[in-house]
Structure formats: structure tokens, C-alpha cells
Amino acid sequence: MTLSSTDGARCPACGKPVTYYGEVELSNGYKVARYVIKCRACGYREVLQEVMLKKKEDGIAVEVVKSIRPKENRNSLKHARRA
């Protein structure tokens, strides 16, 4: 699955627009889903979120391997730099 950046998200390395996409890895009894941003201009790639799905006898176990980092408040960063 590929989504073009419509919210103005920019590459942290070069500042160009990034593309969001999802990838799924299938293995022996589990799936790993990754949500990724990639810059087509410079090749920068970052995994935003990674989730593992495992089959169990009584259902499915979901494990968040890497979660999305919350955005930091820019005002608090400005005050921290001045101190």
C-alpha cells in the first residue's frame, strides 16, 4: 500500500515531500506489518510503526514492536535551548 504525502510531511534529511507506505512480512506463524515513510529524492527511510501478529490456539496475539513517537511541543524545545 502506498500513499502520497498530502499533509505536507517533509523528509527530515532533505526537506522534500515523503511517501507513506505499508509493508507486510509473512513468516512461520506470524506477520509483521510496518508503516514507513520514504523520500524518493534522497532515499531516506524511517519505520514509523511496527506491529507483530501471531497465531495462537485461542486467537491472535497483537504486539506493538515499535510505536509512533508523539510530536514534541516546539515551545518547550525553545525554552529548553535558552536555559
Name which residue leads in pLDDT, 80 or 66. 66
User: Residue 74 has what pLDDT?
Assistant: 42
pLDDT at 41 over 80: yes
With contact defined as beta carbons under 8 Å apart, do 47 and 35 qualify? yes
Cross-strand pairs, 35: 22, 49
What is the average pLDDT score of the chain? 78
Say if residue 44's pLDDT is above 90. yes
Which H or E run includes 81? helix 74-82
CA dist., res. 75 & res. 19, Å (int): 28
pLDDT at position 27: 84
Cα 16 vs. chain centroid, distance in angstroms? Answer: 17
